[in-house]
Amino acid sequence: MNEHIDVQAGEVLLTVGTMKGAWLFAGDPERGKWRWSGPHFRGEQVYAIRFDGRGGRHRLLAGTEHGHWGAVVRSSDDLGRSWSEPAEGNLRFPEGTDAALARVWQLQPAGDDQPGTVWAGVEPAALFRSEDGGETFELVRGLWDHPHRPRWEPGGGGLCLHTVLPDPADPERMWIAISTGGVYRTDDGGRSWQARNDGVRAVFLPDKYPEFGQCVHKIAPAGGRPDRLYLQNHWGLYRSDDGGDHWEDMANGVPSDFGFPMVTHPTDPDTAWIIPLDSDEFRCTPDGQARVYRTRDAGGSWEAQTAGLPERDAWLTVLRDGFASDGLDPAGLYFGTRTGQLFGSADEGESWQALAEWLPPVVCVKAAVVP
Amino acid sequence: MATIHLPGALSGHAGGQRRVEVDGATVGKVLAALGQAHPGVGQRVLDDRGALRRHVNVFVNGESIRYLDGIETPVAGTDEVWILPAVSGGG
């Protein structure tokens, strides 16, 4: 057990949420040496934890879920030495919604031009907005009142709004993803939302290409090209070059197009990574081999990256928020597994090393460069 | 007023008290009054809809309210109410 770490500007901070607490890993800019602290929130499920370095802050935000006492958003301005303990729930469904917060799935700071704004995606599927850096949240009514909402259905993880992507080029535009509901986009700052699932398959429905209802596992924005998005579906890999208006299949040469995370390169819009799983019925790495797959031609082809990863008898599962990149060049990559391993790469997946091997089940990995 | 026994994990949200006294004719009304007096306790025991959380147990004079009338269980001024974390909720 390590109580605390300090970080310097330019270092990488990994925030790792598990089903029994959270850990922080700090790496030097070369990302060869790591130190860590944890467990934070002992015994609590932490599906969302990340660093927010906007506006001069060094704030950690965590969505924690106590098995008895429920979920709340907590923050720390001293890298986990102390955490806020909101006396009252700071993210609550208002009266009249007949809903109760089950889990915080995603905490997403808005752009640098909105340093107080933090978005939260939660279960049951809803979007919340904070204007005070994550201390208090309010329900985004424009999405809650959407006529599709009564027909969204829970996936295996519950009915969750798990991804929030503010457009870095347009503060009025944002994408969210729901399992199962699909992708929705707003072009007016969250007042109205349109389903954006054209071309995305729903294998579990009679109509395979419905307007909404897809089980989208993760969407990620291409680096440096705001209209391009990548999507890992519940079966299916897709790319959109028009802000989600249309999606094209890009499952070319992968052992399986089932999986959870989707990670993109911070600056190269043609590069993305996935970690395929065998199938929805057997959610483990295919053939017992831990393989990350990379495309460098926007999904035209994929190559396995395995150096340093276990090559046999490795039945790993990486969940939707268990894989992340940092913003450095070359990009660092990090993923955690349901069996408690944490792997890192400082060279865009060319080689990997284990940063931890015996954590509780990992459900969230985020990486940030400390300003 | 009924006496409410709080688990140690919640006493910090009630000024360090392990026992508090509140008014209420039923368990539901007692818990609502408890939440008014100590919001940090209330939001940990009741969800956003005011329902008792799944892994929290409430006992009146030693009997679980699941085997009485749930949150409609009557509470008299001399009753002892216990709030305890269930064995099922641990991490």
> What's B27's domain CATH number?
3.10.20.30
Tokens of A187: 């072009």
Q: Cβ of B47 and A100 within 8 Å? A: yes
Type of residue found at A104: V
* Predicted pLDDT of residue A45: 98
A interface test, pick of B38, B41, B47 with most A CB neighbours within 10 Å: B47
Q: Cβ of A93 and B49 within 8 Å? A: yes
The answer to whether residue B90 is domain-embedded is no
Q: Is the dihedral of CA A181, A183, A184, A190 positive or negative?
A: positive
Q: Cβ of B91 and A44 within 8 Å? A: yes
B interface test, pick of A40, A46, A64, A69 with most B CB neighbours within 10 Å: A69
> Which residues from chain B sit within 8 angstroms of residue A100, using beta carbons?
47-49, 51
Shortest alpha-carbon distance between residue B74 and chain A (Å): 24
* Predicted pLDDT of residue B91: 73
The answer to whether residue B91 is domain-embedded is no
Shortest alpha-carbon distance between residue A28 and chain B (Å): 32
* Predicted pLDDT of residue A118: 98
CATH topology of domain A12-369: Methylamine Dehydrogenase; Chain H (2.130.10)
Work out the mean pLDDT of chain A and round it to a whole number: 96
Q: Cβ of B49 and A70 within 8 Å? A: no
pLDDT-based confidence at B90, cuts 50/70/90?
confident
- Which residue does chain B place closest to A91, by CA atoms? B48
Over residues A101-155, the pLDDT tens digits come to: 999 999 999 999 999 999 999 999 999 999 999 999 999 999 999 999 999 999 8
- Among partner residues B10, B43, B90, which is closest to A67 by beta-carbon distance? B90
Q: What is the residue extent of each domain of chain A? A: 12-369
Q: What percent of chain A has pLDDT over 90?
A: 96
Q: Cβ of B43 and A88 within 8 Å? A: yes
- Among partner residues B49, B56, B89, which is closest to A98 by beta-carbon distance? B49
Pick the closest to residue A49 from A11, A86, A79, A5 (CA basis): A79
> Which residues from chain B sit within 8 angstroms of residue A43, using beta carbons?
90-91
Q: Write out the residues of chain A at the interface with chain B, using a CB-CB cutoff of 8 A.
A: 19-21, 42-45, 66-70, 85-89, 92-93, 97-101
Average pLDDT over residues A13-21: 98
> Which residues from chain B sit within 8 angstroms of residue A97, using beta carbons?
48
Predicted confidence (pLDDT) at residue B88 exceeds the cutoff of 90: no
Number of structural domains chain B divides into: 1
Predicted confidence (pLDDT) at residue A157 exceeds the cutoff of 90: no
Average pLDDT over residues B70-87: 95
Domain of B72 in residue numbering reads as 2-85
Over residues A230-289, the pLDDT tens digits come to: 999 999 999 999 999 999 999 999 999 999 999 999 999 999 999 999 999 999 999 999
Distance of alpha carbon B89 from alpha carbon B52, whole angstroms: 14
What part of B 30-69 touches A (C-beta under 8 Å)? 39-40, 42-45, 47-49, 51, 53, 55-56
Distance of alpha carbon B51 from alpha carbon B60, whole angstroms: 17
Assign A32 to helix, strand or coil: coil
The answer to whether residue B7 is domain-embedded is yes
Contacts of A99 (CB under 8 A, 6+ apart): A93, A124, A126, B48, B49
Indicate yes or no: pTM above 0.90: yes
- Ramachandran quadrant class, A85 (left: phi over 0; alpha: psi -120 to 50; beta: rest): beta
Average pLDDT over residues A187-191: 97
- Which residue does chain B place closest to A71, by CA atoms? B44
Average pLDDT over residues A288-309: 98
Distance of alpha carbon A165 from alpha carbon A224, whole angstroms: 14
Q: Cβ of A100 and B90 within 8 Å? A: no
* Predicted pLDDT of residue A346: 98
Over residues B10-52, the pLDDT tens digits come to: 999 999 999 999 999 999 999 999 999 999 999 999 999 999 9
Q: What is the ipTM of this complex?
A: 0.89
Assign A143 to helix, strand or coil: helix
Q: Cβ of A89 and B43 within 8 Å? A: yes
